[in-house]
Structure 1
Amino acid sequence: MAHHIRSVLILLGEDPDREGLVKTPMRFATAMLDLTSGYRADFGKITNEAVFSQTDSGMVLVRDIELFSLCEHHMLPFYGKAHVAYLPSDKVIGLSKIPRIVDAFAQRLQIQERLSQQIAQELMERIAPRGAAVIIEAYHMCVMMRGVEKQASRTVTTSMAGAFKDDPELRRELHDLLKISGI
């Protein structure tokens, strides 16, 4: 990868041998492997032994989970917060595992819409809750730095599964908890 980045620098009109750029190709390659580590995520290891039996539990909500990802269209960053909720059936998952699931999917070339769906689907498959909901609010550098150049523009996506998809009252309760209206 570093060899190709060196070629890109030349195509951009840069001198890859100048002091500030000599190590850039390797730094870029290392950064990209880190930023896309989600492709190598093992969800069994992520959730580990942290799935527990639980009955008669209300909604579980982990909000304001910071996330960073790369837009698959321009490979520019997008960043924001994920709010993840689920309604346990007979299992709960360790609270720290939810941000880890978010990170594993965010650390891929991604679109925000798919990211929301993948997180909800993983929860549905992993712990079989009565429902799962994911709301992501993010700023996209491809919108902010190029094209329309709208720095304050924020994108909100949702993915609702199970009871959250079927029950408007439940969605309203979630939105009230998040103090987000109109979604």
Structure 2
Amino acid sequence: MAVDVERIQQLTRELLQAIGEDPERPGLRQTPARVAQLWSELFSGIGEDATAPLARTISVARGPAPDTLPSGAVLMRGIRFRSVCEHHLLPFTGLAHIAYLPGEQVVGLGSLSKVVETLAARPQVQERLSEQIADAISGSLDARGVLVVLDAVHGCVTMRGSHHTESSTLTIAARGDYREAAARAELITLITAGSPNAAGSAGAAS
């Protein structure tokens, strides 16, 4: 379902009035239109099929270059994403790290980032986003294992209350072989190497 741009503009005007502002003053006249455009981008993933990018696969055994295809895990680190927390409608941003242990099929690396982008472009909570990414990959590929690690900074933590500006949140979702902590230990080490925000939390979460 497409975002209702006209309604967002109307509601933004009402919101400005509700906080005691004048939506007709020069600095705010274009704000409803800008907010509508922003929300169209932030929530573009609503109703979209996040598994669609995974439909085109490459055969490991019968692919065009089988000698270049992986015998172990495929790990893509540092996929930047941004989403909106559904509790306060404040942004959270961070890095997604995805690993999967291929069966007979692999996908282009850009497909993994597209899955993240689509699922993040909805009102979200980080824990659910991790699980949805893992489900999309494990449900679309014949992967023997899937691991998703998200490391994000939340506006509802850094901008509200005690303003913990330096804190980040780490979540882990695992499927198949990677449900076993020992099986994913090496990948967790590779993912968190050089990432001070993730290093301490990964040990606790694994």
| Alignment TM class, shorter chain as reference | over 0.9
> 1-side partners of 2:89 and 2:76: how far apart?
28
Coordinate RMSD, CA, aligned: 1.5
Cα distance per residue 1:83-121 (max 9 Å; x no partner): 000000111011111011001011110000000000000
Contact 2:86–2:124 (Cα < 8 Å) also in 1 = yes
Secondary structure of 1:143 counterpart: helix
Cα deviations by residue, 1:98-157 (Å, 9 ceiling, x for unpaired): 011001011110000000000000001111200100000000011000123100011000
| CA distance in 2 between partners of 1:47 and 1:22 (Å) | 42
Q: TM-score, normalised by structure 2?
A: 0.83
Shift of 1:177: 1.6
- Among 89, 94, 97, the alignment partner of 1:80 is 94
Find the aligned partners of 1:44 and 1:145 in 2 and give their Cα distance: 33
1:130 correspondence with 2:144: yes
- What is the letter of the counterpart of residue 114 of structure 2? R
Greater Cα shift, 129-138 or 38-47: 38-47
- Within the candidate set 96, 111, 123, 2:110 is matched to 96
State the secondary structure of the residue aligned to 1:129: coil
1:52 is aligned to 58
Match of 2:12 in 1: 5
Q: Equivalent of 1:61, from 66, 75, 100?
A: 75
Q: What is the CA distance between 1:44 and its match in structure 2?
A: 5.4
2:181 aligned partner: 168
Q: Which amino acid aligns with 2:26?
A: E
Identity over aligned residues, as a percent? 40
Work out whether residues 51 and 137 of structure 2, in 8 Å CA contact, stay in contact via their aligned partners in 1. Answer: no
Task: Give, as a single letter, the amino acid of the residue that structure 2 aligns with 1:153.
Answer: S
Aligned counterparts of 1:108 and 1:70: Cα–Cα separation in 2: 7
Following the alignment from structure 1 to structure 2, what is the Cα–Cα distance between the partners of residues 149 and 176?
A: 29
- In the comparison of the two structures, how many residue pairs are matched? 181
TM superposition score normalised by structure 1: 0.93
Return 5+ residue gaps in structure 1 as ranges.
none
Corresponding residue of 2:5: none
- In the alignment, structure 2 segments of 5+ residues that lack a partner are 1-7, 62-69, 194-198
- 1:48–1:90 Cα change, 3 Å: closer
Letter in 1 for 2:146: A
Q: For residue 44 of structure 2, what is the aligned residue in structure 1?
A: 37
The one-letter code of the counterpart of 1:46 is P
Amino acid at match of 1:89: G
The yes-or-no answer on 1:21 pairing with 2:28 is yes
CA distance in 2, matches of 1:44, 1:161: 16
